[in-house]
Amino acid sequence: MSLVDLIQRDPDAATLKLWLNKIPYARYLGMDADMQGSDILFRLPPDDKLIGNASLPALHGGVVGAFMELSGAIHLVAKMENPVLPKVINFSLDYLRASRLRETYARCSITRQGRQVANVSITAWQEDMDAPNATARAHFLIAEPNKE
Amino acid sequence: MEPLSLEEKTRFINMMGDFIPHTRGLRVALHSIAGNALTLRLPYQNELVGDPTTGILHSGAVTVLLDQTLGLSAVCSDDIAPSVTPTLDLRIDHLGVAPAGKDIYATGKVYRATRKVLFVEGYAWCESPDKPIARATGTWVRVMDINLDWVRNSKEYNT
């Protein structure tokens, strides 16, 4: 079943994993997602191949950004009434502290969803949710292909 | 301080690339240095695909390449001594996508350097630098200068 078909399913924990498994880049990063009540918790397990600074060691900043962007897109799909695959328009990332080689989490919220565009904010943290490693904001185009 | 020569910049960028496991694994490599501008190349690879029905690389992979390129282009600036520079922020506009199977290039340069802050801009492109697929701006903070004696004297990392 293709990703376009899969996103029509209710986003329970098992479905989220199916979605991630359909995206080669999400598999490469080793991302995972779970439901927490009605919220989704995204998880990036530590992996040596994701290291940017070998002496700390710390995750590559770009990887943290990519994980957050993927989290934002999947969160959006899970919350849409008529899911379509979102296209990222732009992505703005604030790095707050270096991300060490340990479990990284992300949580997202849809700040505004219009008919064509959604604004999603994403927070990533490691040990303490109140001390985020990075915050980001993404705009996604969510128009159905035949209505663009 | 004397600006780094082209040969010294090349050596330094290659050395830095070797110290960054993630992009070393992805075979991100120096493409060219032209004055203050640095260009890196990310070879196309199936693991980085976002949509398997099209084979187009995920935008996150473009983020990684731009973060790396803009971050390293601080080293190529003749205006300021290379320093340890954590990233403050990065913003990317996705203007298009690279066709499946094509390598992606990213070019970055410092457009303003102050004593403490580097303002960097760049873009990612595929077939021609005149047709960018993404545009990026970011800021890096200068924390401390890097001792460059070893770069000037090293005989390694010249290719």
Residue among B21, B63, B68 minimizing CB distance to A54: B21
Q: Which one-letter amino acid corresponds to residue A104?
A: T
Per-residue burial over B116-127, b if 16 or more Cβ lie within 10 Å, else e, is: eebebbbbbbbe
Of the listed ranges A1-15, A43-57, A85-99, A127-141, the least confidently predicted one is A1-15
What confidence score (pLDDT) does residue A148 get? 44
Q: What is the pLDDT along chain B (159 residues), one digit of tens a residue?
A: 678 889 989 998 998 888 999 999 999 999 999 999 999 999 999 999 999 999 999 999 999 999 999 999 988 888 888 787 889 999 999 999 999 999 999 999 999 999 899 999 999 999 999 999 999 999 999 987 777 777 777 767 665
**Which domains can be identified in chain B, with CATH numbers?**
6-153 (3.10.129.10)
Cβ burial of B29 (10 Å; 0-12, 13-18, 19+) is middle
**Cross-sheet strand order for the sheet of B29-34:** A32-36, A39-44, A104-113, A117-125, A134-141, A87-95, B87-94, B132-141, B117-125, B104-113, B37-42, B29-34
For residue A144, is pLDDT > 90? no
Under 8 Å between Cβ of A129 and A105: yes
Considering only CB atoms, which chain A residues are within 8 Å of B61? 25, 66
Identify the three-state secondary structure at position A124: strand
Give me the architecture of the A3-147 domain, per CATH.
Roll (3.10)
Q: What is the pLDDT of residues A50-103, one digit of tens each?
A: 999 998 999 999 999 999 999 999 999 999 988 888 999 999 999 999 999 999
Considering only CB atoms, which chain B residues are within 8 Å of A3? 51-53
Record the tokens describing residue B23, joined without a space. 């992009």
**Are B86 and A95 inside 8 Å of each other by CB?**
yes
Q: Nearest to residue A106, comparing CAs of A119, A124, A132, A131?
A: A124
- Interface check A72 vs B, CB under 8 A: no
Cα separation, B39 vs B109, in Å, equals 9
Under 8 Å between Cβ of A44 and A103: yes
